[in-house]
Structure 1
Amino acid sequence: MTTLPGALPLLGHVPRFARNPLDFLASLSTHGDLVRIKLGPHTAYAVCHPTLVHELLVADRTFDKGGPVYDKLREFGGNGLGTCPAAEHRRQRRMIQPVFHRDRMPDHAQVMCQEIAALTTPWHHGQTLDVPAEMHHLTTAVTVRCLFDAGTDRAGFPTLSSSFGALTTGFTRRLMWPVPAVHRLPTPANRRFERARLHVHRVTDALISDRRAAGADDDNLMSVLIGPDADGVSLSDTEVHDQVLAFLLAGVESAANALSWAWHLIGTHPDVQTRLHAEVDTVLAGRPARLTDMESLELSGRIVTETLRLYPPDSLSTRTTSTDAVLGGHPLPAGASVIYSPYQLHRRADLYPDPDRFDPDRWQDIDRPPPGTWVPFGGGPRKCIADSFSNILATLTLATVAARWQLCPIPGRTVRPGGHAFVVPKGLSMRLHRRPRVCLTSGSVA
């Protein structure tokens, strides 16, 4: 184990991390496979090798959900499936798993297709598109319909996207500067965060009250949450609230960011865009994509995989050792904070040649990446329960939109990664160009 040099008194490596978090994370592997860093006065251990990350993720009871990221997430996001400790996780996952079973995907995909059509119908040739806003609108609609059997026309839903943005920005500040007194000051940023927090919680409560009034029908996540589990035990109101809030945050924010990055990468790589258009013209012949097209949309799927490699939803994740542990032959004390970064792992040159290059073809003939090398959804028992759901939504969206539209970068606009824990595209607007319609019968264009 090595110690990262350059720690400042009291602050440790926080200033370097705050100044350029992604570069800081990507550089850690140059110092070793397990690196001791200082976050203020606290010591944390950064796991930089895929084999060790796999060990970390598989041993979920030893390396439990916790540490700086999850401690802060629980403060405003509750104790849902993604943040709860291992002792509570198995029961929660068993309850929720049927909602994401493969047998449910045709119904989910049908809703996805309807919402993609609703999103794109008002688009027009030459329009300047706020890509993240559009993708947030889509993922919000899909999430609340598929998981909560709700519509997006009720009060509060149209502004969820901006509230999530304020929450993630405020979360980053609290993670970088964990001084509670500072975040209680009545600054504009703190007021925005508090308004967003209250708004998201109000929407969450409204979703729950609407479903309780309608009654459980066993078809969606909300019905599962408010009904009894296999042992006849029901979740408390607080537990239901935390689960709904967790799926809102994850289902909307992570999926929207991934789709936004995909459009940016496609638009800035004309060769990939040309091939994508050729694929959708061949497979779809002018119609929207369907779930049954997934296997034929090979390039579309590889674009999603490569986008998640370059810009995983979370740049870093943390764990806490529940007992004295050993990782990679190095002893770690109970209560230690352990960090791993999907962003750092995905940009290791020994795992991915020319790692900063967008190359969907690097995934040809790869059924399953080696353990620990591609972890946008985590791994082990805590792997994201909605990974297949998210992949289907992303692939159907890319294919359906690409069949009718070309999203072009706007000259002079700079797009950059923003955020710290969440990798979000800043400044991403694109110009819409309508593509020729492909005739369903002859394959000709019109």
Structure 2
Amino acid sequence: MSQTNQRPPTPRGLPLLGNTIDFVRDPLGFVRESVADTGDVFRMQLLGKDVYILAHPEYVETALLDRDTFVKLDDFKIAFGDALLSVHGDQWQRQRHAMEEFFSPARIAEHAETMTSVAAARIADWGNEEHIQIDQLMQAIALENLFEVVLGHSVSEPQLTELVETANTLNLWFKPSSWALPEWLPTPARRRFQRGSAEFRSIAQTLLSDGETKDADESLLARLAALRDAPDSEFTESEVLDQVVGMVFAGHETTALTMAYALHQIGSHPTVAERVYAELDAVIDGQPTPADLRQLEYLDQVLNETFRLYTRRTRASTPTHRGRG
């Protein structure tokens, strides 16, 4: 992307309101039409602010990798406080260093048995159901795994149902009808988000206080609690609680959506389904292990195709840089 002081073009809009109404009515449709009319980079005018849209893979890659030029949206800081996904600079480096061990291949492999057991228990009754809501079931699997593996806490069925409902509210801060409006405006979606965020912070507070985080090697929450209590640590309790909300927001829905879309694609293509099932029967004997994954080459292709079909579309329509207008 060449250096220039000229701002990108702006789609036609209304006086004062700019593109707000068109964006709120149909965000993806508006972006798609604007890209066709103005090109792969354009400036969307919302109430009191400009949002720059990058709709080309190379531009998105630049925005994701060039941390000095493209900073994280203010909305993430407002919504998630000092969570890893909202901070930058030295604070991001400190948090990432403290947490990266828990997301290494070796550590993930240690929890493979737990993750497969959670999935097996979730799908055990599928054969008895005439219809299943695949997106909700995948969300339950992802969220239960997050609590078991990352937070080191088992959840009951009633708790999981409530957690799924509460987790859904964490997306509401970024609902177009709210996101396009000034941050200080208390929209219904933002109020629901605040209640959900407070609920997860309360859960984390309970886990930190009830003695379930004694072993710092067992869960990420336990490690963060140990860092908080260390004499020379820069971690505060508020920062630890923010991590829980951020992890729930970033750590379960993307996984759930990937699984749901992959299963949808498999179910929509019988020949693909036959090859997937045949490969699973040939490779897996009993409970799946991390070693099995390296042999599931066709399943890996299916997942990569799922990313290609759905993830790139999402990235191409995601605002990546914001300025004040």
TM over 0.5: yes
Cα deviations across residues 265-320 of structure 1 (Å, max 9, x unaligned)? 222223322222222222226x3432111122122222222222333376525335
SS in 2 for 1:180: coil
* C-alpha distance in structure 1 between counterparts of 2:41 and 2:190, whole Å: 35
CA contact (8 A) 2:63 2:320 kept: no
Between the aligned partners of 1:43 and 1:250, the Cα distance in structure 2 is: 25
Taking structure 2 as the reference length, the TM-score comes to 0.84
User: Secondary structure at the residue paired with 2:42?
Assistant: strand
What CA deviation, in whole Å up to 9, does each residue of 1:362-417 have, x standing for no partner?
xxxxxxxxxxxxxxxxxxxxxxxxxxxxxxxxxxxxxxxxxxxxxxxxxxxxxxxx
Give the letter for the 2:201 counterpart.
H
Alignment of 1:155-304 (within 5 A): 156-169=159-172, 171-172=174-175, 173-178=177-182, 180-183=184-187, 192-210=192-210, 212=211, 214-228=213-227, 232-284=232-284, 287-304=286-303
Question: Post-superposition shift, 1:192?
Answer: 4.4
Q: Name the aligned partner's letter for residue 253 of structure 2.
A: E
Tell me which residue corresponds to 2:43.
36
Cα distance in 2 between the residues matched to 1:128 and 1:98:
40
Counterpart check, 1:79 vs 2:82: yes
How far apart, in 2, do the equivalents of 1:304 and 1:97 lie?
Answer: 24
Shift of the 25–109 alpha-carbon distance from structure 1 to 2, 3 Å rule, reads farther
Query: Does structure 1 residue 52 correspond to structure 2 residue 44?
Result: no
Q: Distance in 1 between matches of 2:319 and 2:304?
A: 19
Aligned to 1:344: none
How many Å separate the matches in 2 of 1:7 and 1:61? 31
Q: Residue 89 of structure 1 corresponds to which residue in structure 2? A: 92
Counterparts of 1:111-130 in structure 2, within 5 Å, are: 111-130=114-133
Residues 157 and 203 of structure 1 are in contact (CA less than 8 Å); yes or no, is this contact kept in structure 2? no
Q: TM-score, with normalisation over the residues of structure 1?
A: 0.63
Q: CA deviation at 1:80?
A: 0.6
8 Å contact kept, 2:138–2:256: yes
Q: Distance in 1 between matches of 2:205 and 2:223?
A: 16
Partner of 1:217: helix, strand, or coil? Answer: coil
- SS of the residue aligned with 1:15? helix
Shift of 1:20: 2.1
Distance 1:295 1:190, change over 3 A: closer
Conserved 8 A contact 2:8-2:41: yes
Q: Unaligned 5+ residue runs, structure 1? A: 321-335, 338-446
Q: Indicate the residue corresponding to 1:422 in structure 2.
A: none
User: C-alpha offsets along residues 207-240 of structure 1, whole Å, 9 cap, x if unaligned?
Assistant: 3324x55413323211221123999415101010
Shift of residue 28 of structure 1? Answer: 4.6
Q: 1:111 to 1:19 in 2, by over 3 A?
A: same
**Alignment partners' CA distance in 1, 2:194 and 2:85:** 22
Distance 1:42 1:214 in 2: 43
2:18 matched residue in structure 1: 12
2:101 is matched by which residue type in structure 1? Answer: P
Amino acid at match of 2:222: S
Q: CA–CA distance in 2 between the matches of 1:288 and 1:127?
A: 26
Assess, with a 3 A threshold, how the Cα gap between structure 1 residues 242 and 194 changes in structure 2: closer, same or farther. Answer: closer
Q: Distance in 2 between matches of 1:94 and 1:308?
A: 28
% identical aligned pairs: 27
Please provide the CA RMSD for this pair. Answer: 2.8
Three-state SS of the structure 2 residue aligned to 1:65 is coil
Secondary structure of the residue aligned to 1:124 is: helix
- Report 1:278-427 matches (<5 A): 278-284=278-284, 287-312=286-311, 316-319=318-321, 336=323
Change (3 A) 1:217 1:45: closer
Q: Distance in 1 between matches of 2:234 and 2:192?
A: 35
3-state DSSP of counterpart to 1:46 = strand
* Higher helix residue share: 2
1:44 is paired with a residue of what secondary structure? strand
